[in-house]
Amino acid sequence: MADDRVDQDPGPPRLEILMARYQQADAEGARELVATVSPLLLRFFLADTASRNRAEDLLQDTWLRIHKSRHTYRPGEPVLPWFYAIARHARVDAYRRRYRVDKHEMQMDRLPERPAAVAEPDRLPDLDSLLAVLPASQREVVTMLKISGLSIEEVARATSSSIGSVKQKAHRAYEKLRSLLSESGRAATGRGA
Amino acid sequence: MSCKDLDLLFTGSGRLPAEAEEHLRSCDRCRSLAKAIGEPGAAATIGPALMARLQSSATEHLRPVSPLPSPGFFVGVFLVILVAIAFAGVARFGMPGFHALSLGRKIVIFSLLGVSAWTLAVAVAHQMTPGSRKWMNAGPLVGGIIAILLAAFALLFRNFDWHAFTSGGMWCFRTGIECAIPAGFLIWLLLRRGLLLNPVSAGALAGALSGLVGLTMLELHCPIFNAFHILFWHAGVMILATVAGAAIGFLMNWVRN
């Protein structure tokens, strides 16, 4: 688990330099920044929605907001919490819009459910299907910590909450995951016997 | 080491210490959790068409921008606005209230107003930048400040008399609001340079700060030391400004979505 960030984490100093170049209207820096940060943001959105199209829409919306408010990033501050704060806000706004639209639309007899990942009996469920059972606030914290590779301090900044609150949410999420994994382990043992 | 201790280590990215490894060997639940969250799943890949769209939207009409000044700069400007408008009001109406106050009351009231102004200014400045360090939640902060001010006024002014409550109070209330409105407008001009992720909180904080301008002016000017008068008509300026700020923030958010 110690190496899970190696391929994803581009390292804050490099991102901060790219962000500074973006603010100075360096097109090449901006393109590199988009190429580096977009997969992280898309992964963040995919952890919360089953629809790839919706996640891509959110990504585009987020980049529009980032572009419009790029002056609000202060050089020297951690850049990832800045990106994630804007991304989660874009997601909340989209959720509110969707909620308002859904209120005025006819409900189907049965809503399509998010497909559950099918785990092989002898394998642990993957992280995405585990995260799907967590409440949204806990899922967000674990996604940022374990998938996006943010530190506790960065998650606290991105979610406008305190470090203590982030630790508490992570602890509750891990407890829930432990119980879930124990149950799935027992079920697998039962099938094997 | 307990399972809870291990949770803190799971949130980090470094190698687990020997104690944690030892715990993992003896605890099945933690071992399976470590395995599950240690595999982050497939990285999200972005198609070339989408990537090109994102890059072109980021580079289209790209112009250099100046980053926002530090929060300290905005705190300073907010406090200058507060002092300037309060003193403009005093220059117009005079400050008989300040002269009539005892030294002890002056120290308590204006210390509290100063600390409240500084706290609110810092909180407003933090609202302008996404991902900035958590300061305090707007609701408890504004509620706490108003409660402390009300308690201080109730303790300092022991004259509970309803005489001329409305006739004497309306002028104070209207004048306080007249000071709060330009202050709110100037604060809003500065606030809109930032990105307000929570317009309701930002509006409530900015409204409270604007209301504090009106309250400060009234404390300098008004010579009526009646508890009901101060609690209702003076503090009412700050409460109304806070509610108005939150309502404007709510409307902005509603229109945006």
What's residue A105's pLDDT?
65
Query: A48-52, A174-178, B166-170, B251-255: which has the minimum mean pLDDT?
Result: A48-52
Q: What is the pLDDT of residue A120?
A: 46
pLDDT of residue B14: 59
B75 has pLDDT over 60: yes
Q: A79 pLDDT exceeds 60?
A: yes
Tens-digit pLDDT profile for residues B4-29: 777 777 766 556 677 777 787 778 77
Helices and strands of chain A, counted as H and E runs = 8, 0
Q: Is the pLDDT of residue B43 over 70?
A: no
Write the residue in A64, A96, A162 that is nearest to B57 by C-beta: A64
Predicted confidence band of residue B172 (pLDDT cuts 50, 70, 90): very high
Does any CB of chain A come closer than 8 Å to the CB of residue B58? Answer: yes
Residues 155-174 of A with CB under 8 A from B: 156-158, 160-162, 167, 170-171, 174
What is the pLDDT averaged over residues B150-154? Answer: 95
pLDDT in tens, B189-247: 999 888 788 899 999 999 999 999 999 999 999 998 889 999 999 999 999 999 999 99
Taking the whole predicted model, whether its pTM rises above 0.90 is answered as no
ipTM of the complex model? 0.81
User: B131 in contact with A at a CB cutoff of 8 Å?
Assistant: yes
What is residue A11's three-state secondary structure?
coil
Give the integer Cα–Cα distance in Å for B62 and B54.
13
* pLDDT confidence of residue A150: 85
Better pLDDT: B41 or B8:
B8
d(CA B104, CA B124): 30
A144-162 pLDDT per residue, tens: 888 888 888 889 999 888 8
What residues of chain A, 90 to 109, have a C-beta less than 8 Å from chain B? Answer: 93, 96-97, 100
Residue B130 to residue A69: CA distance in whole angstroms: 10
pLDDT class for A123, splitting at 50, 70, 90?
A: low
* Contact status of A87 with chain B (Cβ, < 8 Å): no
Closest CA to A130 of A122, A120, A121, A119: A119
Residues of chain A found within 8 Å of residue B36, distances taken between Cβ atoms: 124-127, 130, 177, 181
| Nearest residue, CB atoms, A31 vs list B55, B63, B132 | B55
Q: What are B94-146's pLDDT values in tens digits?
A: 899 999 999 999 999 999 999 999 999 999 998 888 888 877 888 999 999 99
Choose the mutation target among B30, B128, B197 for the interface with A, i.e. most A CBs under 10 Å. B197
Radius of gyration of chain A (CA): 19
Burial letters for A73-97: b for 16+ Cβ neighbours within 10 Å, e otherwise? bbeebbbbbbbbbbbbbbbebbeee
Please tell me the distance from the alpha carbon of residue A49 to that of residue B130, in angstroms, as a whole number.
23
Selected residue with higher pLDDT from B220 and A47: B220
Question: Are the C-beta atoms of residues B204 and B166 closer than 8 Å to each other?
Answer: no
Q: What is the mean pLDDT of residues A164-187?
A: 83
| Partner residue opposite A85 with nearest CB, options B46, B50, B131 | B131
pLDDT at A111: 53
